A = this chain, B = another copy of it.
């Protein structure tokens, strides 16, 4: 592959081009990163739940005794049925079918009808970590887990000056469509029913190893400011000149995560989003979204808390529109048998290059 990052700050190039080489929608996500696979609140002490990463079933187990969560391949070594259908006993999980038991190490530690000296092999384990209300696993090479960083604070979850929404859903498309959707703010056109007419101005981009960033400002050209937006900005705005192009929105894909921040001048962001799209099926054409949306609290206490349902409903409507369109993109890809995207926006081409470079090549058909 011969892929060069686009750095033309005008945001324009003469004519769109289909990307040569690998079809981006067949690029597999790189497993050598930490990926959330469940919300912490989903898993009570003494319970197990089943989840997925790119077709691999994963059982998460939270011991009865308050020990940390651990992650096993979610197939009993005996008959491959999900261990997450089983029973947690102390810090071990027993398969629901014939009672084979496994500990944190994945070793089989008991088969009720077999002597202890001749136990069969166990199951695969995954490094596991809990942070910011999510349970993460490291699906790749376990030796890299320790040295692979995961920022200790995601969005502003650790900052009392913010209120955070934890949201997620399963979306029927390759994760790359999600990254493109969020970074290309020209798609504000699609949200005009929710947002009114917003004209984006592209301010520039940054391309570094493992990272692409786009910056925008906006002008309202029609419609009224929605309440949801007023809550985020902490103020009512009309269409007058003084509010035009006043804030900077920075969207960054720092592989494999994505962030979106809105800043008024040099202040702390008024909104800070952290989001990741975790492949579900083996073909990676579905993903589960884990998002943290932190909104800065205004001076008056509890205002944001009282208004929160409006903000939730507003963002849900936006997400529903985004979800519909990326699923339509995926459907077109299936019907056409490949990626026919003709991209004219350089920062999106830079993002596409990044996702190809950081991901894994398509699986071989006979693999």
Instruction: Spell out A's residues near B (CB within 8 Å).
Output: 11-16, 55, 57, 75, 77-82, 85, 94, 96-99, 111-115, 118, 120-121, 184, 186-187, 189-190, 199-200, 202, 282, 325, 328-329, 332-333, 335-336, 340-345
Contact = CB atoms under 8 A, between A and B. Distances in A.
Contacts of A121: 342
Copies in the complex: 3
A196 to B, nearest CB: 15
Given A81-B325, A81-B328, A113-B200, A98 B342 contact: no
Contacts of A120: 15-16, 342, 344
Contacts of A189: 94, 96-99, 112
Given A80-B329, A341-B80, A113 B186 contact: yes
Contacts of A15: 118, 120
Given A98-B184, A325-B96, A345 B80 contact: no
Nearest to A120: B16
A341 B190 contact: no
Contacts of A79: 329, 332, 341
A256 to B, nearest CB: 22
A97 B187 contact: yes
A98 B187 contact: yes
Given A57-B335, A113-B202, 6 more contacts: A16-B78, A79-B329, A80-B336, A94-B189, A112-B186, A120-B342
List of 7 A-B pairs having minimum Cβ-Cβ separation, nearest first: A80-B332, A99-B189, A16-B120, A98-B186, A81-B328, A14-B118, A113-B186
Contacts of A16: 77-78, 120
Given A85-B328, A186-B99, A342-B77, A11 B333 contact: no
A168 to B, nearest CB: 23
| Most chain B CB atoms below 10 A, which of A55, A202, A325 | A325
A57 B335 CA distance: 10
A115 B112 CA distance: 73
Nearest to A16: B120
A324 to B, nearest CB: 8
Nearest to A95: B189
A333 B79 CA distance: 9
A244 B335 CA distance: 54
Contact of A114 (B12, B82, B96, B97): B12
A79 B343 CA distance: 8
A55 B335 contact: yes
Nearest to A325: B97
Nearest to A96: B190
